[in-house]
Amino acid sequence: MYLLGKALGVITAVLYCVAILNFFIKWGNRKWIMKLPKENAFRGYYQTAMKFLVKNHRFFGFGAALVMVAHMVLQILFQWVSITGLVTAGLAVVAIILGIIMFKSKKRSAFMLWAHRSAVIALTVAFIVHLITKR
């Protein structure tokens, strides 16, 4: 159970990274890929991957949250109640709620995007503290 709890923590982190890739893959697209000619093969592969990540973004977010709950339950039962873990989980819930609001809204504002992004940045900082201190 101890190892499973740890493994679930790592899987949660990996799924968050896939969700965060949304930002970096779009950024790379704007900065480099759009400048390539339309018939360039790499541009095609890149944009196919980008479409997949953007389309399924919310499922990676929800998937991360599900695995996170499993990690949390096992760690609380078999390890200890991690305060930094709880803070990270709380921020993840905020990010996900903001994501859902944005997903459902008809016109997405820059403010909403920044609110969601800010929650994700805070979540990342909390996660790093959680990893370093484990407390």
Among 1, 4, 23, 48, binds ligand HEM (CB under 6 A): 23
Could you say whether residue 6 binds ligand HEM (CB under 6 A)? yes
E-only strand ranges, 65-112: none
Separation between Cα atoms, residue 117 and residue 120, nearest integer Å: 5
Q: Which is nearer to ligand HEM, 66 or 113 (CB)?
A: 113
Q: Is 9 exposed, middle or buried (0-12, 13-18, 19+ CB in 10 A)?
A: buried
DSSP state at residue 34? G
Stretches 30-38, 39-47, 90-98: which one binds ligand HEM (CB under 6 A)? 90-98
CB burial readout 81-108, b (16+ within 10 A) else e: ebebbebbbebbebbbebbeebeeeeee
Q: Does residue 43 belong to the site contacting ligand HEM (CB under 6 A)? A: no
Q: Which is nearer to ligand HEM, 41 or 79 (CB)?
A: 79
56 binds ligand HEM (CB under 6 A): no
88 binds ligand HEM per the rule CB under 6 A:
yes
Q: Which residues contact 53 (CB under 8 A, 6 or more apart)?
A: 18, 21, 22, 25, 60
Q: Give the footprint of ligand HEM on this chain (CB under 6 A).
A: 6, 9-10, 12-13, 16, 19-20, 22-23, 26, 54, 57-58, 61-62, 64, 68, 71-72, 75-76, 79-82, 85-86, 88-89, 92, 95-96, 99-100, 102-103, 113, 116-117, 120, 127, 130-131, 134
